[in-house]
Amino acid sequence: MGVVRVERLAKSFGKVVAVDGVSFEIAEREFFSLLGPSGCGKTTTLRCVAGLETADAGTIEIAGRPVYRADAGLDVPPNERDIGMVFQSYAVWPHMTVFDNIAYPLRIRKIPQAGIAGRVAHVLRILGMTGLEERRPSQLSGGQQQRVALGRALALAPSVLLLDEPLSNLDAKLREQMRAELKLIQRETGLPILYVTHDQTEALAMSDRIAVMCEGRIHHLAPPEEIYRRPATAFVLDFIGSVNYLPCRLAGADDSSVTLLWREEAAITLPRPPHLPPGPDVLLAARPESWRFAAGSAGLPGTVVLRSFHGAGFEYRVRLGETEIRVMTPNDVRVSEGEAVRIVVSEGLLLEPDALSRPEARAA
Amino acid sequence: MTAGQRALPARAALGVAPAWQRAVTDHRHILFAVLSVFVFITVVYPLLQVAGRSVIVDGALSLANYAQVFALRRNWIAVWNSVWVSLVATVLATAIGVVSAFLVQRTDIPAKTLFRVLLVAPFAIPPLFSAMGWVQLAGPVGLLSQAWQGITGEFEVPWNIYGASGVVFVLAVTKYPFVFITVASALQRMDPSLEEAARTAGVPTWRIMRDITLPLVRPAVSSGALLAFVASIDNFGIPAVLGMRAQFYVLTTRIYEALTIPNMPLATAMSMLLVALAIVSMIGLRRAEGGADKYAVIAGKAVTPAVLKLGSWRPAVVIGLALAVLLITVLPLFALVLTSITTFWGADLVWANLTLEHYVSALTIPAARRGILNSLFLAAAAGVILVLTTSLISYLTVKARYRAASWLDIAGIVPFALPGSVIGVAMILAWSNPPIGPTLYGTIWILLIAYIMRYMAFGLQTTRATLQQIHVSLEEAALTSGAGRLRVLKDITLPLLRPGMVAAWVLIFISAFNELTVSVLIWTTGAETIGVWIFIMQDSGFSGRASALAVLTLPVILVLYLLMQWLTRLEERRAGRSKG
Ligand SMILES: Nc1ncnc2c1ncn2[C@@H]1O[C@H](COP(=O)(O)OP(=O)(O)OP(=O)(O)O)[C@@H](O)[C@H]1O
Ligand SMILES: [Mg+2]
């Protein structure tokens, strides 16, 4: 059974519908992310779970106990929900030392002094901050303040940890480091995490499951790989990773493959995608790493207009008629700008031609 | 340590009170009701009294009181004098304020902190003291007059401290800190990239200052100037000491005169004229501040902008500034001290003429002793009451998001725009024969209410600004840590608000301790204040005793002023660090 259960949650601010019927369930020890662009309602969902915001409709249960039920007028205040929360701004109390910050939730629960000292020492050890107990937040770096905020949320071993873009104020290097640490800390403590972010790399790297949100709704809820490989809607496809679109005509399909025609001439054969649009006109959507350069006369003819180095490989922009296709290649493949090339694609999804203007259009 | 292990106390799943029941027990409603009564008694009711009584004659609506104001030439002249004297003083104050702010903030003069402290000091010194100091410096047998006579050998000095010119001059040298403070802080917070853009284009520094910097701080200049104007219109001590003797009256002194007769209807109608003047100035102030927003060049961060190198001008500028500070801030106080320890005003400075007799005789007067104690008590009490109530009002508006509470905020700010004489008249009207409750006129409680009304805005503004800086997530973090609302208030909000409360208390204490304009209208025997008693002694010719009393109060003011400076410095440093 889920540690957190959210059902048909809805919340509006005046005319703005922030959350529009969201349901999900977080399992024990699970790292669960809400991912989506700015303003899609992630924070509002999280704050409803925390009790900092009162939803308009739906149910929320934490550790098997209902904390919010619109139909019964139940709304347990945040301090009685048994949660730990980390804010984007850290919200470390400037007038308390590191020790006092982390000890605060324990003191509120009237845990004996000796127990508090031991518990805080344990948390500081997990966070690698032993020795900084008496520092004030103003004497800490951003990354250290972040850890204090995390430690405060962990201290009581709550039913669930709620994190709202906790890493977005850190620089790129530190963010990557904290990502790994957060994962390790979760493994050590075994706490389930509800994580809010707009950074897909972060969500893909850390989560057990991701709910991708758009305009207050969950479009796709699945493990990261499935979200990447088989995005449920055009919005998810477009939002996660990068993707090339090529208008084609569906020439034929059997159980295992489809054949497409580009400009009525060049033929493309692909493994059959999970979803086939009804009409003959389709939009082929394929990731840059699904494309590669072809030798000989196979594939689609184009011209390389730009080459950029990405460390692990090169990205080429290949002009194909009116469209441009991005092709990712390993380091050993070298093509120069201006060169005429042929490219082939190994897998992709098929959308209806107008799918890009309809975020909810089916993709897989 | 998995989620299920820690059992939570069983709770009745649906045990939440219905909305109506929660509404009654919601602490915000009770708080709001109590505060509403408080603001109504201290602010709204007295104001309604002035406005109402000015248009009611013998129980009927009438403009007779206003007609009476304009029937007398004396009154016309007082209105006109108030306007032109304040205008000219403001122009002078603006010039002093802008130039000194610029020198201290943006040039390479030495000892900037010392200059800054000395330049802002007149802000804390009661204007009455300055007026007395200037009489003793530039009056008929004053130090400067004697020096002039000694140097030129002529008996006549080319100035007259009594009358319009003296009032204008002393107003200017006591009100310029308003301009200095606003302009200096605008100069400090200005986005340096605006100047750097010009610098990279090869524009010389002095032209950047003239073409970029000065135009950009113009909104700050005008809001500082308007504050100086309002404070000049409001002032009583300076025109009372320097003007009345020369039969030069402004509105505040004319109201004082009308109340000594007493002619209550006349005073009431004249108060309304002052209100009109204040409203016009306040509209101007809003405009000026709106302009500041429009430019939006003031970044909220402390930066170290470029400094203009004065080069070979530096010694001359520094000496000039030092002399000006000496003349404006130091000499009047020095004259006060001197007068307080010499046998008679203008006596030669020899050992035989030095005495402590003024201190002794001033302190043997029971009323003076009472005045000192009353002022200490009233200033401290007004500070405590205001800090507590305005913190609660700000808490309701900022943190509890209690919509209706904004009327408290607005009503509490209004008296800030009102000249003190209006507040004095309002107090007399409201508390001489109130429909319910005791007659407070004749007790010190009327002074307490008057100070509360007059300085409510200080408390509101300081506590609101501090509360707004306490990010809501700090409180939410405590909520999600398991603390209830009251616990959050006690552990998080209050400790973070405390520096703001202390700052507000100090500001209110200094202002109330120095208060004269209102006090002089509503004091009675037994309910004297130190300022009133100093004024009375000065007015009746005992300038030695008046100076002695003034000198006695200076250490209190000085200590609190330095405390205030230290607090703001602390606050700035903390703000700077939490940004970095
Ligand atoms: N207190 C509020 N009052 C009014 N509107 C709000 C409030 N909080 C959120 N909204 C609106 O609700 C919508 C969802 O906001 P929310 O903060 O949940 O987005 P988000 O997904 O967290 O975005 P971001 O990534 O920018 O933090 C937005 O349109 C936002 O403007
Ligand atoms: Mg958000």
Dihedral pair phi/psi, residue B116, rounded to 5°: -65, -45
Using one digit for the tens of pLDDT, what is the confidence trace for A224-281? Answer: 999 999 999 999 999 998 999 999 999 888 889 999 998 877 788 999 998 899 888 9
Two structure tokens written together for B70: 């304009």
Q: How far is CA B287 from CA A59, B223, B227, B274, in A?
A: 50, 9, 13, 20
Across the interface, whether the CB atoms of A138 and B479 are under 8 A apart is answered no
Q: How far is CA B342 from CA B138, B145, B573, in A?
A: 17, 17, 45
In this prediction, residue B305 has a pLDDT band, given cuts at 50, 70 and 90, of low
Task: Output the domain CATH number for residue A276.
Answer: 2.40.50.140
Residue B271 above 90 pLDDT?
no
Q: Please name the residues between 205 and 224 in chain B that touch chain A, using a CB distance below 8 Å.
A: none
Longest dimension (CA), chain B: 99
- The CATH code of the domain at B72-352 is 1.10.3720.10
Contact (CB, 8 A) for B503 and B568: yes
| Domain pair B30-62+356-580 / B72-352, same fold | yes
Percent of chain B with pLDDT over 90: 33
**A42 in ligand 1 pocket by Cβ < 6 Å?**
yes
What is the number of the ligand closest to the CA of A36? Answer: 1
- Mark whether A223 and A88 lie in a shared domain: yes
Residue A205's CB: how many other CB atoms inside 10 A? 13
- Mark whether A211 and A166 lie in a shared domain: yes
Whole-prediction pTM: 0.79
> Residue B10: closest CA among chain A residues belongs to which residue?
A65
Contact (CB, 8 A) for B177 and B97: yes
A311 in any annotated domain: yes
Q: Which residues pair with A26 in a beta bridge?
A: A4
- Tell me whether strands A300-309 and A291-293 are parallel, antiparallel or unpaired: unpaired
Flag the least confident range among A62-71, B330-339, B346-355: B346-355
- Mark whether A45 and A84 lie in a shared domain: yes
Residue that is last in its domain, among A210, A238, A266? A238
CA of B573 vs chain A CAs: smallest distance (Å): 11
> Residue B18: closest CA among chain A residues belongs to which residue?
A73
The answer to whether residue B246 neighbours chain A at the CB level (below 8 Å) is no
- Mark whether A42 and A168 lie in a shared domain: yes
At a CB cut-off of 8 Å and minimum separation 6, what does A7 contact? Answer: A23, A58, A59, A60
C-alpha B94/C-alpha B228 separation (Å) is 8
- Mark whether A170 and A190 lie in a shared domain: yes
A255 in any annotated domain: yes
CA of A200 vs chain B CAs: smallest distance (Å): 25
Task: Output the domain CATH number for residue A150.
Answer: 3.40.50.300
Residue that is last in its domain, among A219, A238, A257? A238
- Using CB atoms, which residue from B3, B6, B13 is nearest to A74? B13
A177 in any annotated domain: yes
Is 3.30.1330.10 the CATH number for B30-62+356-580? no
Across the interface, whether the CB atoms of B578 and A28 are under 8 A apart is answered no
Q: Which residues pair with B61 in a beta bridge?
A: B56
Mutate to test the interface with B, among A104, A111, A164, A191 (most CBs of B within 10 A): A104
**ipTM for this prediction:** 0.84
- Mark whether A159 and A269 lie in a shared domain: no
- Mark whether A204 and A336 lie in a shared domain: no
Mutate to test the interface with B, among A4, A28, A43, A52 (most CBs of B within 10 A): A52
- Mark whether A110 and A225 lie in a shared domain: yes
Running DSSP on this structure, what letter comes out for residue A359? T
* 3-state SS, residue B329: helix
Residue A157's CB: how many other CB atoms inside 10 A? 18
At a CB cut-off of 8 Å and minimum separation 6, what does B74 contact? Answer: B249, B254
Residue that is last in its domain, among A238, A253, A279? A238
Dihedral pair phi/psi, residue B243, rounded to 5°: -100, -45
A110 in any annotated domain: yes
pLDDT recorded at residue B224:
86
A364 in any annotated domain: no
Running DSSP on this structure, what letter comes out for residue B242? H
Host H or E run for residue B284 = helix B264-295
In this prediction, residue B323 has a pLDDT band, given cuts at 50, 70 and 90, of very high
Dihedral pair phi/psi, residue A51, rounded to 5°: 90, 5
C-alpha B359/C-alpha B372 separation (Å) is 13
Contact (CB, 8 A) for B149 and B351: no
- Mark whether A266 and A138 lie in a shared domain: no
Mutate to test the interface with A, among B399, B466, B481 (most CBs of A within 10 A): B481
What's the one-letter identity of residue B243?
G
Across the interface, whether the CB atoms of B11 and A157 are under 8 A apart is answered no
Using one digit for the tens of pLDDT, what is the confidence trace for B445-498? Answer: 999 999 999 999 999 988 888 888 888 899 999 999 999 888 998 999 999 888
For chain B, the domains span 30-62+356-580, 72-352
- Mark whether A140 and A47 lie in a shared domain: yes
Structural domain containing residue A258: 245-357
Using one digit for the tens of pLDDT, what is the confidence trace for A54-76? Answer: 999 999 999 999 999 999 989 99
The answer to whether residue B577 neighbours chain A at the CB level (below 8 Å) is yes
Distance (Å) from CA A7 to ligand 1 centroid: 20
A210 in any annotated domain: yes
Q: Which residues pair with B308 in a beta bridge?
A: B107
> Residue B474: closest CA among chain A residues belongs to which residue?
A91
Across the interface, whether the CB atoms of A108 and B487 are under 8 A apart is answered yes
3-state secondary structure B397-419: HHHCCCHHHHHHHHHHHHHHHCC
Distance (Å) from CA A18 to ligand 1 centroid: 6
pLDDT recorded at residue A312:
83
pLDDT recorded at residue B575:
54
The answer to whether residue A94 neighbours chain B at the CB level (below 8 Å) is yes
**A89 in ligand 1 pocket by Cβ < 6 Å?**
no
Closest of A322, A320, A323, A321 to residue A343, by C-alpha: A320
In this prediction, residue B572 has a pLDDT band, given cuts at 50, 70 and 90, of low
A134 in any annotated domain: yes
- Mark whether A350 and A208 lie in a shared domain: no
Mean pLDDT over residues A95-111, rounded? 92
Contacts of A53 in chain B (CB under 8 A): none
At a CB cut-off of 8 Å and minimum separation 6, what does A31 contact? Answer: A183, A186, A192, A193, A195, A206, A207, A208, A209
C-alpha B319/C-alpha A273 separation (Å) is 86
pLDDT recorded at residue A172:
83
Domain total for chain A? 2
Residue B312 above 90 pLDDT?
no
- Mark whether A264 and A220 lie in a shared domain: no
* 3-state SS, residue B11: coil
